[in-house]
Amino acid sequence: MKVAGIVAEYNPFHNGHAHHIERTRAADGPCRPTHAAAATSGNFVQRGEPALLPKAERVRAALAGGVDLVLELPLPWAVASAEGFAFGAVSILDALGCVDVLSFGSEAGEIEPLQKVADALLSDRFAGLLRYHLEGGVAFPEARQRATEEILGKKAASVLEHANNTLGIEYLKALRRLDSPIRAFTVPRLGAGHDEALPVGDMASASYLRGLLAAGRTANVAPYMPPIPLEILHEAARIGHCPADPALIDRAMLSALRRLTKEQIARLPGVSEGLENRVYDAIRTAGSMEELLAAVKTKRYPLTRIRRILLAGFLGLSAGWETRRPPYIRVLGMNQKGAEILRCAKGSSLPLITRVSQLESFQEETRRLFALESRAADLYALALPKPLPCGTEYTTGMIRWEG
């Protein structure tokens, strides 16, 4: 058995994801795994927004698209910065104990230039340079770029200008931090780039597809999605499970955020350097989430970071979770080959959860994290066209795919 690990959100599952899995599993490629396991975010994603579809539908799409085992990236890591997101996901795949290779898409299309930057970012010199540029008042991405250019030169540092390269570099950093034996492999990204406004051929970015669905143009996504994930999406739309709309929970978010004290805001993930003062003042005057985001956002504090901070305040997350390894591995779905991976993973360094009832016997930290996950699912349900009842974390079991 040879297992490939993948980190993804599948929000939604599209042709680019199918291409990545196909090239990872290709018989003529360098990887040639027999099995594939994916760590995926749950009901909220790294952009600081509700996922387009509930995670059960996204798990089915992943299994239909070529993944054998789907594992959940718990909430605090799913909505963390790229570093926390990558560390949480790679920690889960590493803890399985049977993943041989980590496969991810990148604009660079090869590991060497990404590894070179990852090594630079982990150096003592980088830490000092980053601090110097941040103290100069620039945003973190720009400070990181400048520091890397000073170490490696402009050409080598240019890989950080692309989103998938940057995330791949964070995966490599996580592997190093964990001293993991997992090897890294990257597939060149084809077609439309990350957040690209228009498709290229039959490849479209996930953000483009979400835009079509938000506008009610469900039929227009067909050329850019594989048949079965497309069927799953259409059925979800038919029964009111798609698309999730952040605007539907705007007032609920504002209500929750207005209850926070300045001290509570200071303890949210991503808050530093007195940002809690700016956030607190904006919360008390904004009449919508759009106004709130606009009031807090600056060149130094980009929109995605602010969105994640406000989401954490809404969901009741505090800083600290994302800096350590997740305390368990929760199985969301699998096929027959996925069951074979689980049998191989019996020596996992983290508890494997296939049934919610198992949580009763685990330590308090694990139960506390699952309580956060459950509450988040209940709040996420209000963003759907037809809200789901509370308790879906307990009533939706692990998905077994026979397709």
pLDDT in tens, 340-351: 999 999 788 899
Q: Which residues neighbour 146 within 8 Å (Cβ) at sequence distance 6 or greater?
A: 129, 133, 138
**DSSP secondary structure, 59-75, as one string:** HHHHHHTT-SEEEEE-H
In this prediction the pTM is: 0.95
195 has a pLDDT exceeding 80: no
- Total residue count of the chain as it appears in this document: 403
Q: Is residue 182 part of a domain?
A: yes
Q: What is the pLDDT of residue 267?
A: 96
Residues 45 and 68 in one domain: yes
State the pLDDT confidence band at 30, using cuts at 50, 70 and 90.
confident
Distance between CA 7 and CA 102 in Å, rounded?
Answer: 8
State the pLDDT confidence band at 83, using cuts at 50, 70 and 90.
very high
In 3-state terms, what secondary structure has residue 269?
Answer: coil
State the pLDDT confidence band at 273, using cuts at 50, 70 and 90.
confident
213 vs 359, residue with greater confidence: 213
What's the token pair of residue 382?
Answer: 């209000």
Distance between CA 287 and CA 292 in Å, rounded?
Answer: 7
Location of structure tokens 């019996």: 346
Q: What percent of the chain has pLDDT over 70?
A: 98
**Host domain of residue 307:** 247-321
Judged by average pLDDT, the poorest of 24-28, 39-43, 329-333, 342-346 is: 24-28
Tell me the longest C-alpha to C-alpha distance in the chain. 59
Q: Is residue 335 part of a domain?
A: yes
Residues 63 and 174 in one domain: yes
Residues 228 and 152 in one domain: no
Residues 281 and 138 in one domain: no
Residues 72 and 182 in one domain: yes
Q: Is residue 112 part of a domain?
A: no
Q: What is the pLDDT of residue 196?
A: 60
Residues 229 and 294 in one domain: no
220 has a pLDDT exceeding 70: yes
Rounded to 5 degrees, what are φ and ψ at 179? 50, 45
Mean pLDDT of the 311-330 span: 95
Q: What is the pLDDT of residue 95?
A: 97
35 has a pLDDT exceeding 80: yes
Residues 194 and 58 in one domain: yes
Q: Is residue 67 part of a domain?
A: yes
Amino acid at 187: V
Residues 186 and 329 in one domain: yes
Inter-CA distances, 113 with 164, 174, 214, 365, Å:
13, 16, 37, 39
**DSSP secondary structure, 131-153, as one string:** HHHHHTT--HHHHHHHHHHHHH-
67 has a pLDDT exceeding 90: yes
**E strand or H helix at 400, and its extent?**
strand 399-400
Answer yes or no: are the C-beta atoms of 53 and 62 closer than 8 Å.
Answer: no
Residues 256 and 207 in one domain: no
Judged by average pLDDT, the poorest of 92-101, 196-205, 267-276 is: 196-205
Residues 316 and 358 in one domain: no
For the chain, the domain total comes to 3
Q: Is residue 378 part of a domain?
A: yes
| pLDDT tens readout for residues 123-180 | 999 999 999 998 888 888 999 999 999 999 999 999 999 999 999 999 999 999 999 9
- Return the bridge partners of 4, or none: 36, 101
Listed residues 268, 288, 321: the one ending a domain: 321
53 vs 199, residue with greater confidence: 53
Over 85-107, what HEC string results? Answer: HHHHHHHHHHHHCCEEEEEEEEC
193 has a pLDDT exceeding 80: no
DSSP secondary structure code for residue 37 in this structure: E
Distance between CA 70 and CA 332 in Å, rounded?
Answer: 6
Q: What is the pLDDT of residue 137?
A: 82
Q: What is the pLDDT of residue 301?
A: 87
Q: Is residue 262 part of a domain?
A: yes
| pLDDT tens readout for residues 287-304 | 999 999 999 998 888 899
Residues 331 and 317 in one domain: no
Average pLDDT, the chain: 94
State the pLDDT confidence band at 362, using cuts at 50, 70 and 90.
confident
Listed residues 272, 302, 321: the one ending a domain: 321
Q: What is the pLDDT of residue 122?
A: 96
11 has a pLDDT exceeding 80: yes
Q: What is the pLDDT of residue 28?
A: 79
Residues 383 and 267 in one domain: no
Q: What is the pLDDT of residue 192?
A: 55
Answer yes or no: are the C-beta atoms of 202 and 344 closer than 8 Å.
Answer: no
Mean pLDDT of the 264-283 span: 95
Q: What is the pLDDT of residue 200?
A: 86
Distance between CA 380 and CA 186 in Å, rounded?
Answer: 33
**E strand or H helix at 186, and its extent?**
strand 183-188
